[in-house]
Structure 1
Amino acid sequence: MENVELSDPPLGLEEEFHVLLTPDAVRFLAQITSTFNNEVDKILWNRTARKVELDLTNSYPDFSPNTAHIRNDTNWKVAAVPHRLQNRHVDIGDTAPYQTERFHRALMSSAQGIQVDFDDGNCPTFYNQIKGIFNVYQVVHGEIPGLLSVSEAPVLMLRPRAWNMVEHNMLINGREIPGPLFDYGLLMYHVGKRLSESECGPFFYLSKVESFLEARLWNQIFVWTEEKLSLPAGSIKATVLIESVLASFEMEEILYELREHSAGLNCGIWDYSASFVSKFGHRLEFLLPDRSKYVNMEKRFLKSYMDLLVQTCHRRGALATGGMAALLLPKDKDSTEYQSVIAAVTRLKLFEITAGVDGFMVYDIDLVAPMQKLFQEHTSGPNQLHIIPSVNISQSDLLVMPAGGVTLFGLKYNIAVGILFIDAWLKGEGHFFFCGKVEDSATAEISRSQVWQWIRHRVKLEDDNRTVTRGLVLALVQQVVRQLLDDSSALQQQRLNTAVELFMEIVLKRDFPEFITTYLNLDHTFLSSRF
């Protein structure tokens, strides 16, 4: 038996902790971790090696000749889409399940699915992980009066943490357990069989996959789990989020590796855009302009990525889903602002529907019905698998940066989002609301990435030709903080000041910290907090 060290239960969750972390469940976590620990290490080493190779050779990613046989073989397809996943029109995104009220409200909605999120929209305190997994456990086992059964409710699309995260509160043989194995393992152990028997899963979103080798690892984990828990082969299905520019060149290979377990691919906008800075931000030719003005799905590099994703998925019989609408509806339905938000979301999502996506996400539950109506008005049937875009996407299509510069508004907006995300994280929250939108780690990634890159390349502002420097950013940070500190308590001010210090650390690093969540997850301020 592996040596296991487990932290004490989070305060107030003693009962939930003991329901979930039974001796058998802990043994299962220990087994899955010891089985795949070395492979997880190799994945992370391969990421580092790939980045070093690109930097040393000053080269660009491309479609690999080593896997051309997979792309050129027209005969293979993914396994048939299960009945419960045939219609993916509207999922409710960023649903951190520790937020019980929102989770239950989502379950009672008319959405096709719920992104049950332990990743981008969630802050992974031990309290949040235990509370969230326990809430899923109760829902799947029908222990909450008044809620629909899992057979009738929107399908649960479970999103564990990505490979860059670890769980500090559980050590196996002296090493912290990988965050995704903790989340995935506990969820599968407690609800996998029940979801399978009700033909409602288990279904997953997989975040931040960078290569087909990572998809191969997930497939091995799925096969191992199905055997261990006596589940039918191929019953686990996963939608891979293509959030890295490197993964965009390996979409067919990723589908191929997961072909018995694939629920398709997903394209977003901000994590994907931020990955350009992460991989190539020090190169001037990859300078990304102001996202608030010049970066959207209509730009060539993002439109190409979406078209290729839809084409790839539909050729192989897999579903292709789009990003999340982050705008929030005002309460007054008769207001011009309400109509303006509806119009803005409709325009953006109609663009994705026209591109052939089979579904997308919204954050605001009140957007579900109008977006479902939009699908019904512009498509026929549960999905658009029959639409295969006639495009020929090249390396340059995926790597071309949009034209544009940097505005003072964009710089201040990015600063505010970066600071407020860190502030939310220090409160144990993974998303927050700002200027009529929901912001999470994806928008925090692109925000702090752009500030880092603009300082690095000493970009000039369009407004007044000032250069973006450490001094200018610090002055703007102080302006932003003064606005945010109005009516704040002493505790809030102290936390916000800590967030400012962390933000400045991150945007001034000589070498780009790859993930803001990794950086924060290892910071002493977070580790010493009691949630």
Structure 2
Amino acid sequence: MEVSPPPSGLEAEYESLFTADSLLFLHELISTFAEEVDEVLWLRVSRKAHLDLSGGLPSFLEHTAHIRRDAAWRVMPVPPRLQRRHVDIGDLAPCNTQHFIKALQSPAQGIQVDFDDGNCPTFYNQVKGIHNVLRAVYNQLHSEWVSLDVPHISQAPVLMLRPRAWNMVEHNMMVEGREAPGPLFDFGLLMFHCGRTLFENKSGPFLYLSKVESFMEARLWNKIFVWTQQKLGLPLGSIKASVLIENVLTAFEMEEILYELRHHSAGLNCGLWDYSASFVSKFGHRQAFLLPDRRKYVNMEKRFLRSYMDLLVQTCHRRGALATGGMAALLLPQDQLHESYKTVLAAVTRLKLLEIKAGVDGFMVYDLGLIEPMQKLFQLHTDGDNQLHCLRNDVTVTPEDLLSMPSGGVTLYGLKYNITVGVLFINAWLSGNGLFFYRGQVEDSATAEISRSQVWQWIRHQIQLEDDSRVVSRRLVAELTEEVKVELSSVCPSVRDKRNLPTAADMFLEVVLKRDFPEFITTYLNQDHTFLSSQSTGQVEALDIHIHHPKL
């Protein structure tokens, strides 16, 4: 087993995380499940190839119909601290110590401690973030910025730990000659150091699971949970996980996912932009699945997204599981008396009220200022800790509903906006940041995914702009990308360090002009030499750490 040396400035944090016992645990965890991780990733490739070769479409699975027909089974009830979780803070990368502390001091009921969409997985960020979680769990995280104390872990918002998704690897750890799967690296360290203490304080361990694509992946996670609980001496069902349904294929397997995780389920979650981007990933080369301008034509009121949310709520509540809505990405202006503050608050309220009326039990916000207004909105329109009583028997969702693309075209503004978000996201990653702020909202890998996906698809189908009938072509996108680069260099406050902008623009063009669609922009970036060389800290000659146990 090999682990890179500590990132500069994090030597003490590194030593506290990578102890002999934690390394032994990580080695056993990763070596036990490495082959099954490979299998679920190959299953993804196989399913995609089958859909492409057959021209077929997903539907509800015939061989698991008995699970859906059996009305008797339920997921195990969640612990009390999860039963009333109206508002979580989303996209919170715990390497941002100040933001993490403010979230812990907030009135939110939960925090999505994010090592995925809102986090750039440099070795520095992973070590710093995991160590900050450990400090929070052991009540060692102290505020240097505000006078309020950080509450005890049993009183703070519950930590919903979100490891990286299966598509990500950890370059800084080699196990049996191969890079470690990113989610097992994150999950293993978090569970080893924090799992028992969270359980003893009735505050976890609770998780979000990103980018799951089939019930077989849920089955693998369940096996990992069972193994981990046995290793750490925790009762079966101690771990609770909410699965993000952010892939079109999983929309047809929600009940099966809950069934596989029935002892460990904290419910399911909606994710607007990753879910929309998955249509391009799976079917983007087909004209029938052209996704129009997202800024103008794509929102949760459209049939394919409304049906997905309705089915998710119905499925969860039928099985006694919690249903979580998406994240409000809008940012409140600082001046509460300004008209723009009321406008933003009204926009968030309208969208979140749609989710509440659909029956969700909670949702996420990024801006801490939205926590209390959204909690009051829940209290005003619901009765009790959650809406599990809302069974949505009025809902009948068909495959046609889930696969119904919204009508609409492409605007020059929408094309340029997508290019801008894509370039800024890559620029943020090259600077070690997983998100950025642009035009009044937070942007992360989910919005980067939908942005670059749409540009790729519009080039692929040579779509005409609504504005002037120009075709979205390689040349047009290259010209607009150059415009965006110049504009960002001169006027964008999000870009403080502009040295990476030309590289980011070139990398964006590379990814949207590829003949074959790259499955995830984060995979592309995480394996690109430009990104790796920009994160040279901790990438020098690896330390060889030998683990001695009976398996070796």
TM-score w.r.t. length of structure 1:
0.98
Q: CA deviation at 1:487?
A: 6.8
Q: Report the 3-state secondary structure (helix = DSSP H, G, I; strand = E; otherwise coil) of the residue aligned with 2:437.
A: strand
Q: Which deviations, in whole Å up to 9, do the C-alpha atoms of 1:85-129 show, x marking residues without a partner?
A: 001100000000000000000000000100000000000000000
C-alpha separation in 2, matches of 1:116 and 1:297: 25
Provide the residue aligned with 2:511 in structure 1: 506
Pair 1:202-2:211 in alignment:
no
Provide the residue aligned with 1:48 in structure 2: 45
Q: CA deviation at 1:488?
A: 8.8
Provide the residue aligned with 1:82 in structure 2: 79
Moved more, 493-502 or 268-277: 493-502
State the identity as a percent. Answer: 68
**Superposition pairs for residues 131-146 of structure 1, below 5 Å?**
131-145=128-142, 146=149
Provide the residue aligned with 1:410 in structure 2: 414
Contact map agreement 2:101 2:141 (CA 8 A) in 1: no
Q: Report the 3-state secondary structure (helix = DSSP H, G, I; strand = E; otherwise coil) of the residue aligned with 2:111.
A: strand
Contact map agreement 2:246 2:271 (CA 8 A) in 1: yes
Q: Which deviations, in whole Å up to 9, do the C-alpha atoms of 1:149-197 show, x marking residues without a partner?
A: 1110000000000000000000001100000000000000000000001
Provide the residue aligned with 2:56 in structure 1: 59
Q: Report the 3-state secondary structure (helix = DSSP H, G, I; strand = E; otherwise coil) of the residue aligned with 2:282.
A: helix
Q: Which deviations, in whole Å up to 9, do the C-alpha atoms of 1:415-456 show, x marking residues without a partner?
A: 000000000000000000000000000000000000000000
Gaps of 5+ in 2: 143-148, 538-552
For residue 7 of structure 2, what is the amino acid of its counterpart?
P
The count of residues paired between Structure 1 and Structure 2 equals 528
For residue 405 of structure 1, what is the amino acid of its counterpart?
G
C-alpha separation in 2, matches of 1:157 and 1:165: 19
Structure 1 segments of 4 or more deviating over 6 A? 487-491
Provide the residue aligned with 2:479 in structure 1: 475
C-alpha separation in 2, matches of 1:40 and 1:425: 26
Pair 1:110-2:107 in alignment:
yes
Provide the residue aligned with 1:269 in structure 2: 272
Provide the residue aligned with 2:327 in structure 1: 324
C-alpha separation in 1, matches of 2:334 and 2:351: 21
C-alpha separation in 2, matches of 1:510 and 1:525: 21
Q: Report the 3-state secondary structure (helix = DSSP H, G, I; strand = E; otherwise coil) of the residue aligned with 1:485.
A: helix
Q: CA deviation at 1:492?
A: 3.7
Pair 1:466-2:463 in alignment:
no
C-alpha separation in 1, matches of 2:87 and 2:491: 38
Provide the residue aligned with 1:442 in structure 2: 446
Provide the residue aligned with 1:248 in structure 2: 251
C-alpha separation in 2, matches of 1:234 and 1:477: 50
Contact map agreement 2:120 2:432 (CA 8 A) in 1: yes
Q: CA deviation at 1:82?
A: 1.0
Moved more, 442-451 or 469-478: 469-478
Q: CA deviation at 1:144?
A: 2.5
C-alpha separation in 2, matches of 1:367 and 1:13: 33
Q: Which deviations, in whole Å up to 9, do the C-alpha atoms of 1:332-377 show, x marking residues without a partner?
A: 0000000000000000000000000000000000100000000000
Pair 1:147-2:150 in alignment:
yes
Q: Report the 3-state secondary structure (helix = DSSP H, G, I; strand = E; otherwise coil) of the residue aligned with 1:66.
A: coil
Out of 107, 115, 124, which is 1:127 matched to?
A: 124
**Superposition pairs for residues 247-396 of structure 1, below 5 Å?**
247-389=250-392, 390-396=394-400
Contact map agreement 2:163 2:209 (CA 8 A) in 1: yes
C-alpha separation in 2, matches of 1:103 and 1:269: 24
Provide the residue aligned with 1:33 in structure 2: 30
**Superposition pairs for residues 509-528 of structure 1, below 5 Å?**
509-528=514-533
Out of 97, 101, 108, which is 2:98 matched to?
A: 101
CA separation of 1:29 and 1:386: change in aligned 2, threshold 3 A: same
Pair 1:163-2:186 in alignment:
no
Provide the residue aligned with 2:145 in structure 1: none
C-alpha separation in 2, matches of 1:283 and 1:472: 22
Q: Report the 3-state secondary structure (helix = DSSP H, G, I; strand = E; otherwise coil) of the residue aligned with 1:438.
A: strand
C-alpha separation in 2, matches of 1:471 and 1:292: 23
C-alpha separation in 2, matches of 1:391 and 1:83: 29
Q: CA deviation at 1:464?
A: 0.8
C-alpha separation in 2, matches of 1:152 and 1:239: 21
Q: Report the 3-state secondary structure (helix = DSSP H, G, I; strand = E; otherwise coil) of the residue aligned with 1:150.
A: coil
Provide the residue aligned with 1:184 in structure 2: 187
CA separation of 1:491 and 1:141: change in aligned 2, threshold 3 A: closer
For residue 82 of structure 2, what is the amino acid of its counterpart?
L
Provide the residue aligned with 2:226 in structure 1: 223
C-alpha separation in 2, matches of 1:71 and 1:493: 53
For residue 474 of structure 2, what is the amino acid of its counterpart?
R
C-alpha separation in 2, matches of 1:412 and 1:301: 25
C-alpha separation in 2, matches of 1:288 and 1:313: 28
C-alpha separation in 1, matches of 2:480 and 2:491: 20
Gaps of 5+ in 1: none
Q: Report the 3-state secondary structure (helix = DSSP H, G, I; strand = E; otherwise coil) of the residue aligned with 1:506.
A: helix
C-alpha separation in 2, matches of 1:210 and 1:282: 19
Out of 239, 248, 270, which is 1:236 matched to?
A: 239
Out of 423, 429, 432, which is 2:427 matched to?
A: 423
C-alpha separation in 2, matches of 1:275 and 1:394: 19
Contact map agreement 2:78 2:240 (CA 8 A) in 1: no
C-alpha separation in 2, matches of 1:478 and 1:260: 52
Q: Which deviations, in whole Å up to 9, do the C-alpha atoms of 1:17-61 show, x marking residues without a partner?
A: 000000110110000001000000000000000000000000000
C-alpha separation in 2, matches of 1:292 and 1:487: 22
For residue 321 of structure 2, what is the amino acid of its counterpart?
A
Q: CA deviation at 1:491?
A: 9.7
Q: CA deviation at 1:494?
A: 3.4
C-alpha separation in 2, matches of 1:419 and 1:88: 35
For residue 438 of structure 1, what is the amino acid of its counterpart?
V
